[in-house]
Amino acid sequence: MNYKDLKNQTAQMPTLQEIITEKRQWNTTHRPFDRTVRLDQYHFQPRELGVAESVSSLIPFVNIIVPDPKNLPVVPPTTAPVPLTANLTTHAVDQLLARLDIRKKDFTRLPPGIMQYVADWYILHENDGKEIFIRMQDENTCRAVLSTSFETFDDLELLEMIAPVCPPDSKVHLAWDDELTMHLSLTFPDTKTAVRVGDMVESGIHISNSEVGMRSVTIAPFVWRLRCRNGLVGLTGNGDNGDGVSRFHHMGDGKRMRDAVQLAIASVMTDYPKLTAQFREALDKAIADPAQKLADVVKEHELTKDDYKEFLDKFFHEETVPDYNLFGVVNAITATARDRNGENAFALQRVASQTLITGLQN
């Protein structure tokens, strides 16, 4: 489920209800379920690969063999049966190695037999009967190896939580789900307003999540500039760090976390006037040397030279006449984010919003 509303997009974007339906179909097809097991019940066995395969390809699929399935929790009748063998995804392998405190870079250089010996030694000697929480799908595929303190809050639940507060004509601009992270950005047409003559924006909400331990549940205001089709996450001065973004880790009391997420959603729905006001204020914040300002952004956020080159290209070529103000600088960053995917796009949108916030404060 990866859809992006790009500058020259012609394909129809899905609706929120279509995305929810697609997620329900995924659950029906892959039948996800969870288990809590003792790590020292596991036996690590790398998959046998042909000579032609590279060393790094030894890692993505391994088998966990449970010697005594009677020690596992009783399986509810609605879930898949407990598999004797669980094939780990690449992400789950990385999580297992991290839990065993094994450096992946060194581990991938080992022959398969030594890999098995090293992993089994760490499992038996360094974990002292600790339990782990594994997330399964497709009967025998392990998609995540997590701590038992992990609190599940899955994408479908989050999507269904925002659905009642989103108008039927809500527009989806980004729907990203690579089974590691999920990002959804949508706006509400009745919020459309001009930041200047001929330059319209719409406000809405952005949500992010990961079912496999890659990120926290995230709720943030979202603004969409119609002319260039760029999006921005954050802004309003609320949220955890005063940046408009509320984050909820997959830990602790599940009910309290869900109540807090519901409050964050309600808060975002009241922040639209602040978004528009901040954009208008940015137009009046002149910047004599935008190239230097963008260089400062790159240094502050530890971005790359390629990012800087893209920022400059977007600044001087995205608009017919570049805006030598804070608005123009922020637009260069969001235009670059428009060409990125998933976490990378979200990270650059966050850089843009932080640039806007600090620029307005100075």
* Helix (H) / strand (E) containing 358: helix 342-361
User: Taking the CB of residue 164, how many other CB atoms lie within 10 A of it?
Assistant: 7
Counting other chains too, the contacts that 273-279 makes at CB distance below 8 Å and 24 or more residues apart are 274/235, 274/236, 274/237, 275/201, 275/203, 275/221, 275/223, 275/235, 275/236, 276/193, 276/195, 276/201, 276/203, 276/223, 278/235, 278/236, 278/356, 278/360, 279/195, 279/201, 279/223, 279/327
First to last CA, the chain: 40
pTM of the model: 0.83
Residue 160, token pair as written in the block: 């269904």
**3-state class of 19 per DSSP?**
helix
What are the backbone angles phi and psi of residue 295, rounded to the nearest 5°? -65, -40
In whole angstroms, what is the distance from residue 316 CA to residue 294 CA?
12
Distances (CA, A) of 304 to 184, 298, 328, 354, 356: 26, 7, 20, 17, 20
Q: How much is the pLDDT for 41? A: 73
For 113-146, how does the pLDDT look when each residue is reduced to its tens digit (9 = 90+)? 788 888 878 877 877 678 889 898 888 788 999 9
Which portions of the chain are predicted below pLDDT 50? 10, 49-84, 239
Provide the pLDDT for residue 71: 46
Q: Centre a 10 Å sphere on the Cβ of residue 235 and count the other Cβ atoms it contains.
A: 29
Give the pLDDT confidence score for residue 73 in this predicted structure: 41
CA atoms of 249 and 215, how far apart (whole Å): 8
% residues pLDDT > 70 (the chain): 82
- For residue 1, the model assigns a pLDDT of 56
**Cα–Cα nearest to 96, from 145, 49, 37, 151:** 145
Whole-angstrom Cα distance, residue 362 to residue 358? 6
pLDDT at 20: 95
Q: Distances from the Cα of 327 to the Cαs of 46, 225, 256, 352, in angstroms?
A: 53, 11, 38, 10
Beta bridge partners of 38: 131
Per-residue pLDDT at 69? 42
| Whole-angstrom distance, CA of residue 345 vs CA of residue 183 | 10
Q: Quick one: pLDDT at residue 3? A: 60
Would you state the pLDDT for residue 241?
56
Task: Report the length, in residues, of the chain.
Answer: 362
